[in-house]
Amino acid sequence: MTYLQAIILGALQGLTEPFPISSLGHSVIFPSLLGWRVNQSDPFFLIFLVATHAATTLVFFGIFWDDWKKIIFGMGRSLRDRTIDAKNPYGKLGWLLVVGSVPAGILGLLFEDTLKKIFALPQSVAWFLVLNGIMLIAADFLRRRKHKKSLERGSGDGQSDERIARLNWHQSIKIGALQCLALIPGFSRTGATITGGLLSDLSYEDAARFSFLLATPIIGAAALLKLPELLVEQSTSFSIGALAAGAISAAIVAYFSIKFLLKYFETNKLWPFGLYCCIAGLITALFVLS
């Protein structure tokens, strides 16, 4: 992997991780479409993906730093008081994030490597990308069928985090379970969790915010588990330089992507991303077949 390729792939990760269009799927498809001689089964490529994911996680954490301070304090307060109630919305939100992280955490540890080996091929990813697009379009369709009052959970009533904290435990588990789809390259973690949030009566804005908060522990934990491989298996200056270039590129692009989406989902919907995924997946499938 050259430095230019590392920067481009890092930027791609930073763009597609917060966007509901599958970062892993694009990382598999993009080098193949450009004809890059990058061995995606090589340990370095996998560790490169981990490094760019870690950089993206730090950006998530930085942007929501004020929220995380309140969440950590609120969880400590709930442990002290041995109760979770409406007077401590940030404590409730913190435990909702813990509950929502459990399904993907367990399945990721058990099946992540197996699923990637089976499905991390451009032709497979292309069709899963189409299915991801259909999921996003279906989420918009189902949302429109609901009555507006029941759809937007307390829209305009309190801060976004306080509205999210009104989710129940079952709804948080459901959103976390949908997050497991992202273990299959081509499905988007962001897209799946926003879909779960919409189906749990959150507004687009609140569903996106919960999705971004949920991304921090699950992606961060995965990166920390893989980092020892980074230190043990990759020690050459070229590899470290390419990793650094890719990680920095991912962090810069992720920052602007997250800021854009937080504003976008105040008034806009998922279907444009769904349409993109369907078109991109079909074009990629035709390209691979040809």
Burial 137-152 (b: 16+ CB within 10 A, else e): bebbeebeeeeeeebb
Q: Which of 213, 266, 220, 244 is nearest to 63 (CA)?
A: 213
**Domain coordinates in residue numbering, the chain:** 3-289
User: Do the Cβ atoms of 126 and 288 come closer than 8 Å?
Assistant: yes
Which pLDDT belongs to residue 151? 47
Q: Over its length of 290 residues, how does the chain's per-residue pLDDT go in tens digits? A: 789 999 999 999 999 999 999 988 888 888 888 888 777 767 677 778 888 988 999 999 999 999 999 999 999 999 998 888 878 999 999 999 999 988 877 877 676 666 666 666 788 889 999 999 999 999 999 988 775 555 454 445 568 888 999 999 999 999 999 988 888 888 999 999 999 999 998 999 999 999 999 988 878 777 777 766 666 665 554 578 888 999 999 999 999 999 999 999 998 899 999 999 999 999 998 887 77
* 132: Cβ contacts below 8 Å, ≥ 6 apart: 20, 21, 22, 25, 181, 186, 187, 188, 191, 274, 277, 281
